[in-house]
Amino acid sequence: MTHEDSLIDARPMSASLLPEFDPDPALWERILSGNDRRLRRRRNRRFAGLGVCLAVVVVFGLRVLQPAEDVGDGVHAVADVRMESQDLQDALRGNGNGRVDSIVQSRLRLLDRDLQAAYDHGAGDAELQALWTLRKQLLEALVEQDSVSGGHRFTRI
């Protein structure tokens, strides 16, 4: 056997030389059903992805559309009490006789220190509102005491 004989014949083959192939009669049916299954799975994945995206949009949309009163109701209450307290303090300064009791001053300083500590450690609205309410009540008592005493100012000449 020579080298040329061992090589495959490189001549082009004609289709008539190929063997006959009789496929299974159900082959086309299996091919078509496989394609249908693949298309259904792809469509189901698309709908599932669309459903997930829609759910995410709905959840975030509901969070954004919540009324501001429900979200920050405690914040508004704390701010209102704080403003009232500051107004009372301003009124006390304007009408005061300068003779604020040292016990009351020390209580006011303690409340201010407690308020600052509460803000420093990130206290909740309930704790802040309670502290501001105490401060407001103390200042109301001072303003009332000042108005009862006549609110006279003594000036040194």
Q: Does one domain contain both 116 and 91?
A: yes
For residue range 15-36, list pLDDT tens digits in order. Answer: 777 788 888 888 889 999 999 9
Residue 38 lies in a domain: yes
Residue 136 forms part of a structural domain: yes
Q: What is the pLDDT, as a whole number, of residue 131?
A: 86
Instruction: Express as a percent the part of the chain with pLDDT over 90.
Output: 14
Choose one of 65, 84, 117: the last residue of a domain. 65
CA distances from 136 to 6, 81, 142, 143 (A): 109, 7, 10, 10
Residue among 92, 74, 82, 107 nearest 145 (CA) = 92
Q: What per-residue confidence (pLDDT) applies to 34?
A: 94
Looking at the structure, do residues 73 and 143 belong to the same domain, yes or no? Answer: yes
pLDDT exceeds 60 at position 4: no
Does the predicted TM-score (pTM) go above 0.85? no
77 and 61 in one domain? no
pLDDT at 39: 96
Number of domains in the chain: 2
Choose between 76 and 128: higher pLDDT. 128
Q: What's the whole-number mean pLDDT along residues 32-53? A: 93
